[in-house]
Structure 1
């Protein structure tokens, strides 16, 4: 069942501060690294044997549960790096049962135990070492457990990992390592610590280091139990993974199940960073366990001896520990059942040859062999419940690593708990080959199961019990774990890496260091010899260059190729444009750009190759604030032919595809037009530029980049009243390249507003007079059918589409340059159309004012005053209402003057239209002949019976609705109800109507 949203959020909160928590599966995965072209990677891969060479490396893996004992860090360098503390008579694989040269004078067990103290190392004096170390090892991988007290709730719940304890261990290790060995990486999770060092020769070969941790302790994710993991890549070919884990403790069935659960969690939740090779190519998108060539899983796995009485096991094993120091007589016992006082078995005088250890019933190996069938780890591997997917372990020829009395060499737990000795600390390893064999078995069994189900579904008889070759029950049998001969030395296992290169591994040593006394666990280490094919970077770079050049040569011959030519001759529309465009610019230069004025440029695309070329404009790489898509919103593109029909799959980022045959061409028109006030404001304030790059994508060819640029001409639109009243005569365009020395107030209202209202009044008067003189009988003026004219034009779009776009753009230009509006009109343009276009410019100008005629603060005061009057329910005259409004507006003189100018202007226009619409003498006009009210719904019964008064009412209402939208600014309230919004709008209309209804 998928987790609900609340559980996901709670997990994310915990994961944010707790080490080893579950990985965040809901966060966006990491961005993938750009890959090389597939053909190049494949060609380079095919020649991999030319740039790889065989290398050998020796890896030493060590594990130790320090039980958070003081002074344990003093021993680590001696046993792990220098190979000391091994008791040869009780050692494991690769260690002779006789003391090596140099160990003859080693300190006795009794003397070593007698001087034990937490402030000095416990390594026996005179120990020369019995396991390879120092510079004989190339890679040291050490995993420690319980370097802090994990039983402490404070430590377990600590939201961070304290590196102080790990630093003590690093200091001791680095002091013991040979000169030149370098730290590869480290990872800590509460008491778990994993560190890897490499020799000077091997360190440069190690790349793509990735560390991670998985907590499986308290509540399933705390770091008191779990694993710290590291992935490295040797020679760009061979992945190595080191897993240091501490699984659940306890000897009961529930503890065993929890150990298996811990291991499964570590296996499923471990994730590494993507692998990138030396050429910058990503080889993965993040890996888990099982994808590596070699893995080493070690630590305190805590598996016990199942069903064995602890006292019996101690007696069996202590028989072999009592003679560790052959030169010592009468060593006293520290455990009642230690067996130190047992009798030695006598050897028959007739025995000519000693028995092999595996045949001698009194040998240590025979005792170990009798105990191992009770080892829970081996049992779980055979049952397919844990570590069954290809993991292996070397022969166990050493005493259990747990549990000993601290300060003693071979005295098992003598405390009241008298814990049963167990091989809790283990080092497992897995090769890619063994993991693949396991996966193949699982796949074959699943296929067999499906075939059986299909046969049963078809009613086919299944074989009888006697005919079954084998019967497999995954719940009881699990996967197989091949029994191995404990005395058989392992052979090198050849494997094939992911790059199909050869590698092999050999386990040389696997032993404990019995004579380390500072913890109740004995340290354990294993040495592996690894042979692998490593990439030689210089050879790979040289072959990469050869491959790239050869592929370029092959691809260029059959690769689609196009050329893009900017047509500068026809791209400019005027001499002025030609002067302002830069001929040295390699892209499309639109020159000076103004509001509402379109600019066009042409480009020609030609197929210059030998094969058909399919191409199209692809999505541009855009910033967060930019519009996604192939083109910015101020640019439109038009081709001179239809695009290809969508017959086959195309790249998702190309919207229209065109195919050109060799030597064919296609013409493209680019049109730039700024027509939104948001764009004008961004351009005025410098938040947006008209610099862009179009991406022309050719299928199976290279991308072409087409730069665009234009120079924005400042506009009076999207300014504030306070800014506009300071602009001197000549318009805002005059200030484009200069800053006035003094920003003095030049006007009481914006000059642009004054010029527009004056021109509209003048043209309206002339239009009405001309209509009176030239109208034919029965002809109506537009104002006679539209009470909102000239500000409400139902067919305004049609008018603009009828060839007036350029005139409208020139009117905005005249507004910005403070030039006569009359110069913008064509000779054939009718007077009423001129008025309508100017009215549109005025409305656009007013709506663009950032602060508006009535600012947000002014409207808040007005609305408060209006609300107070409404609540009082006292009759108030229109004059009193107007006086109250004007008292508030006088606090902002320039806005007040602008408000009164607009209302006076609207009164004059309304009066002119009302006068010309009056019925002539000896004619009658019914209410059905009143003009339409496109902007406001008006009930006929509310209108005056006097025609001219009714017309005036309709005009006032329409003007008030139109200008209420453009003059007022108020705070946007997202949760405001529609009813309240309508009430606010009606109050704004009422303010305007109060002044327009004034006949004086």
Structure 2
């Protein structure tokens, strides 16, 4: 019979994990909300198709409990639980419900074989500890073996919990529990699987399942709670297990041993123990077949079906123990042959209890209790009829028979503390128990079937051992009842506070009810509104059923002072077939994904492909690279790429570039510092505005990417491998997925930014040749560090790049000054060296003012220097010599400025500056030659730097001579003026101009050119001198000393 399906789901599986945002290309941003549509969530959609991946199952669950009282060998009697043996049918009203016809036949056969079962007297006579005490030839009256799908057994006192050694032991001894496991597994049918165990000192929980059921069990979790000494020791408390059956149903099994005692506070302590077990029990989070896990674990109240068993120790209250013992043994005596020893012992105990009752009656001055009177009357009646044969047809029904066991038990149950506490809502609220049709399970003489405690203590019989269960429906119903009562109480208080008149009006309104007018309009829905009686809606939203078939004590188990107790439940549940659920999950996910994508903006980004001649030298195939490939990139080189962003979806798409994720040292923003972005909206004009744009379906725009590295410090970082020419752009699509667009290029190392100590190691052929010779050069598409290191051998006394640059600048200066008069009219077109001091190194004198053209030519110069080719070969054929000279002069200053440590290092300048200051303070005049000699001695401490310094100053001196000679030749009258005119000195900052000029005009002009060159180049050549915290006056004096130092070698 399949379990009932409800038309409306009430709860779903665990929610899916949130997506990781911005971690991988194609991720969805955190701010995006799910589309507002009527689509179900994935879990709801999968649940709605549950009939396709679940199958109904019907099983029997056997739940047992037994306090073994630490008797040795009690485990030998485990067949009472597995095989249903040891039941005294005369002492219980046993009926097993819902049996099939075949089961009825089998039961009939079993009952017919009861005649062969060992008698009580023989059974008790052979009672020995460490031996099985079950009656021989007992066929078993309860279903067992393979009829049971799930065995749940709770044991108490498998060790002596009253022993200080056991109670205070810092660990649980597993050897005793192992004995019980071994006996259990020896009696179970072949193939049954161990599911779980949990032990806490004397409490042991064992769970076994049939092979078919075991395959459905997941998320097994066990735990324990101690409530004994100091509220935490394990001599009392509970061991608990949680299993998930078929991925649909949570089952919890609690095996408890609560506080003992009959004193006034014992009941409250038992209630406290129960509360502690319920509140402190926590299980591990549940993981389902899809790998999704809860954030926190659940407790007992989260179970769909919970079983609470054990020695709960609730007693019979308000009734004398002698009365109860005598009353019950009048029934147990029927199990004995009264002519034999064991039967006589029962009669003796009955008489002993009767004598005690008579003495109590004689000593009392007040009237006897009702129960005592009833017991006395009952005893006399029993004495009268015990020997009479009553025809079965004339016997009264047990319910109506005042002498029946049923009537006796019914008279005792109102005194049961557990029922009283449930009624008072102090413990076990919402839990239910089967009909008690068996004798109290405590306390008996070990080795006897029906002799209650005959020791000096003569403890009163009680139903200490119990099996209760609670469904999720029971719990919700109880909580609903409590809420309704609290609401009713609140309304009553409001009515009282409003006064009697108002209360009366409200009372009248209660009876003035019109269903059409006053019906609840809230539309609230309860998950059980549509559920048939007996249906339990699980937390996962499935409909299961449970029913009790049997609840009985095993009176003929003799190896403890407690009688074991078990219950059999018929259980119907839906079991998930993992393979089918996975298939349905995939189908639903694809369908939802398709539907979601249709309603979600969809943008396609197309990257233009590079030309084959720009592919570079790396092993990467740029045609396979799915990002923007810039190819080989060198200093000042211009590169252009473009992207096309198109709306290929069915709804408008709002897009914009967002700040990309950056690491330490990376430039923040939408793009790296070496790339600039502009957008072409199709109107023929590029815009730097990267704000949001909305594209209708079919619309598109282009993104233009420009790459030109002019920052020398950035080039140095690429040279050294500090920065990588690899980055990303992030295009955000609102309510859609982000697009991550990789950027990549191959950096070609430049001599720019290197120190003299590295430059002198570059061989003939340039740094580019050295880079390509490096073994790993073809494996890097971004940057792999400099091709030069300290192990590279020294090739030159000074950088070859300086030799080449100074040589070509000198040659071009001579050529330009010589040919100006041939190409121009010097009177109408005066040359730049006559108009600007410091030509060709000062920007004011340059004839080419187009920045883009200048940057392209600078890129050519760098390439010629790095590849060791002639400068003429990289210049366009139509460029003039003066333009070549000015471009080389500009690059020369750039080259010196970028040079690591400079020409005059910080350490060398510190010595030179100290000497110059000393000379100023001494007021001792030294000739220029003496000063140069002194300076060269200091510079010679770094030979390569000294030679480089002489190369540069020699070139500058030659330029001064050539320009003065050219002025003398073309306009000698100009040289007659001293100082030179302010228009000529405009290239020199006002605060750096000389104050004392030579009287000779020609010498004054030479001083002007020298001052202009020195003030232009001192910063590029000399490092150090300006410290943090210096005053402006000190900084100005330091700059003046640097300029005068250079002038020593120019004049």
Alignment TM-score, normalising by the size of structure 1 = 0.62
Partner residue, 2:570:
529
The answer (yes or no) to whether the contact 1:563–1:607 under 8 Å persists in 2 is yes
Counterpart-to-counterpart distance in 1, 2:344 and 2:663: 77
**Judging changes above 3 Å, is the alpha-carbon distance between structure 1 residues 904 and 523 closer, same or farther for their aligned structure 2 residues?**
farther
Counterpart-to-counterpart distance in 2, 1:333 and 1:720: 117
Aligned positions of 1:299-338 closer than 5 A: 299-300=309-310, 302-305=312-315, 308=318, 311-312=321-322, 315=325, 319=329, 322-323=332-333, 325-327=335-337, 329-331=340-342
Where does the alignment leave 5 or more consecutive residues of structure 2 unmatched? 1-14, 21-27, 29-33, 98-106, 355-378, 511-531, 683-689, 777-787, 818-829, 844-848, 908-940, 964-976, 998-1006, 1031-1037
Counterpart-to-counterpart distance in 2, 1:705 and 1:678: 24
Where does the alignment leave 5 or more consecutive residues of structure 1 unmatched? 1-28, 471-490, 643-653, 791-798, 859-892, 934-939, 969-977, 983-989
Structure of higher CA gyration radius:
2
The answer (yes or no) to whether the contact 1:334–1:414 under 8 Å persists in 2 is no
Partner residue, 2:544:
503
**Deviation string, structure 1 residues 223-244 (Cα, Å, up to 9, x no partner):** 664443212132x4x3131232
Counterpart-to-counterpart distance in 1, 2:638 and 2:327: 96
Partner residue, 1:366:
408
**Deviation string, structure 1 residues 616-674 (Cα, Å, up to 9, x no partner):** 589999999999999899887665459xxxxxxxxxxx996744334x11323467899
Aligned positions of 1:645-684 closer than 5 A: 658-662=694-698, 664-669=699-704
Counterpart-to-counterpart distance in 1, 2:723 and 2:68: 62
RMSD: 7.1
**Judging changes above 3 Å, is the alpha-carbon distance between structure 1 residues 900 and 717 closer, same or farther for their aligned structure 2 residues?**
same
Partner residue, 1:480:
none
Query: Pick from 466, 478, 481: which aligns with 1:441?
Result: 481
Partner residue, 1:133:
144
Query: Pick from 254, 278, 301: which aligns with 1:264?
Result: 278
Q: CA deviation at 1:375?
A: 1.5
The answer (yes or no) to whether the contact 1:245–1:300 under 8 Å persists in 2 is yes
User: Secondary structure of 2:548's partner?
Assistant: strand
Answer yes or no: is 1:232 the counterpart of 2:233. no
Aligned positions of 1:550-569 closer than 5 A: 561-568=602-609
Counterpart-to-counterpart distance in 2, 1:386 and 1:556: 54
Partner residue, 2:417:
375
**Judging changes above 3 Å, is the alpha-carbon distance between structure 1 residues 462 and 411 closer, same or farther for their aligned structure 2 residues?**
farther
Partner residue, 2:304:
294
Aligned positions of 1:846-995 closer than 5 A: 846=900
Q: CA deviation at 1:528?
A: 0.8
Partner residue, 1:391:
431
Aligned positions of 1:456-495 closer than 5 A: 463=503, 493-495=534-536
Q: CA deviation at 1:360?
A: 2.7
Q: CA deviation at 1:585?
A: 1.8
Counterpart-to-counterpart distance in 2, 1:314 and 1:284: 51
Counterpart-to-counterpart distance in 1, 2:233 and 2:74: 25
Query: Pick from 190, 193, 199: which aligns with 1:182?
Result: 193
**Deviation string, structure 1 residues 385-424 (Cα, Å, up to 9, x no partner):** 4332x32222233344455565555565677876665444
**Deviation string, structure 1 residues 300-339 (Cα, Å, up to 9, x no partner):** 3635237557845873576267527423633289999964
Counterpart-to-counterpart distance in 2, 1:564 and 1:72: 79
**Judging changes above 3 Å, is the alpha-carbon distance between structure 1 residues 360 and 726 closer, same or farther for their aligned structure 2 residues?**
farther
User: Secondary structure of 2:333's partner?
Assistant: coil
Q: CA deviation at 1:60?
A: 1.4
Query: Pick from 587, 599, 603: which aligns with 2:643?
Result: 603
User: Secondary structure of 1:463's partner?
Assistant: helix
Partner residue, 1:275:
288
Counterpart-to-counterpart distance in 1, 2:956 and 2:257: 90
**Judging changes above 3 Å, is the alpha-carbon distance between structure 1 residues 509 and 592 closer, same or farther for their aligned structure 2 residues?**
same
**Deviation string, structure 1 residues 523-549 (Cα, Å, up to 9, x no partner):** 332211012344566776777787678
The answer (yes or no) to whether the contact 2:304–2:539 under 8 Å persists in 1 is no
Partner residue, 1:487:
none
**Deviation string, structure 1 residues 44-79 (Cα, Å, up to 9, x no partner):** 544444655543111112234455x37557336412
**Judging changes above 3 Å, is the alpha-carbon distance between structure 1 residues 677 and 961 closer, same or farther for their aligned structure 2 residues?**
closer
**Judging changes above 3 Å, is the alpha-carbon distance between structure 1 residues 655 and 457 closer, same or farther for their aligned structure 2 residues?**
farther
Partner residue, 1:82:
83
The answer (yes or no) to whether the contact 2:325–2:460 under 8 Å persists in 1 is no
Counterpart-to-counterpart distance in 2, 1:315 and 1:801: 115
Partner residue, 1:198:
209
Counterpart-to-counterpart distance in 2, 1:606 and 1:681: 36
Q: CA deviation at 1:136?
A: 0.7
Q: CA deviation at 1:364?
A: 6.2
The answer (yes or no) to whether the contact 2:67–2:560 under 8 Å persists in 1 is yes
Q: CA deviation at 1:133?
A: 0.8
The answer (yes or no) to whether the contact 2:657–2:729 under 8 Å persists in 1 is no
Partner residue, 1:745:
791
Counterpart-to-counterpart distance in 2, 1:392 and 1:100: 30
Counterpart-to-counterpart distance in 2, 1:535 and 1:638: 56
Partner residue, 1:513:
554
**Judging changes above 3 Å, is the alpha-carbon distance between structure 1 residues 361 and 747 closer, same or farther for their aligned structure 2 residues?**
same
Counterpart-to-counterpart distance in 2, 1:405 and 1:901: 115
The answer (yes or no) to whether the contact 2:548–2:567 under 8 Å persists in 1 is yes
User: Secondary structure of 2:606's partner?
Assistant: strand
The answer (yes or no) to whether the contact 1:192–1:244 under 8 Å persists in 2 is no
The answer (yes or no) to whether the contact 1:807–1:825 under 8 Å persists in 2 is yes
Instruction: Tell me which protein shows more helix as a share of its residues.
Output: 2
The answer (yes or no) to whether the contact 2:726–2:744 under 8 Å persists in 1 is yes
Alignment TM-score, normalising by the size of structure 2 = 0.60
The answer (yes or no) to whether the contact 1:591–1:710 under 8 Å persists in 2 is yes
The answer (yes or no) to whether the contact 1:189–1:227 under 8 Å persists in 2 is yes
The answer (yes or no) to whether the contact 2:398–2:406 under 8 Å persists in 1 is no
Partner residue, 1:612:
651
The answer (yes or no) to whether the contact 1:226–1:246 under 8 Å persists in 2 is yes
Counterpart-to-counterpart distance in 2, 1:310 and 1:903: 120
Answer yes or no: is 1:241 the counterpart of 2:251. yes
Partner residue, 1:56:
58
Partner residue, 1:890:
none
Partner residue, 2:629:
590
Counterpart-to-counterpart distance in 2, 1:157 and 1:901: 90
Aligned positions of 1:776-855 closer than 5 A: 846=900
Q: CA deviation at 1:127?
A: 2.5
**Deviation string, structure 1 residues 943-980 (Cα, Å, up to 9, x no partner):** xx9999x9999999999997699xx9xxxxxxxxx99x
Q: CA deviation at 1:515?
A: 3.8
Counterpart-to-counterpart distance in 2, 1:149 and 1:808: 96
**Judging changes above 3 Å, is the alpha-carbon distance between structure 1 residues 399 and 808 closer, same or farther for their aligned structure 2 residues?**
farther
The answer (yes or no) to whether the contact 1:572–1:578 under 8 Å persists in 2 is no
**Deviation string, structure 1 residues 83-137 (Cα, Å, up to 9, x no partner):** 22333344476479999443442353664475322x4444333322222110111
Counterpart-to-counterpart distance in 1, 2:870 and 2:456: 108
User: Secondary structure of 2:212's partner?
Assistant: coil
Counterpart-to-counterpart distance in 1, 2:301 and 2:443: 35
The answer (yes or no) to whether the contact 1:630–1:695 under 8 Å persists in 2 is no
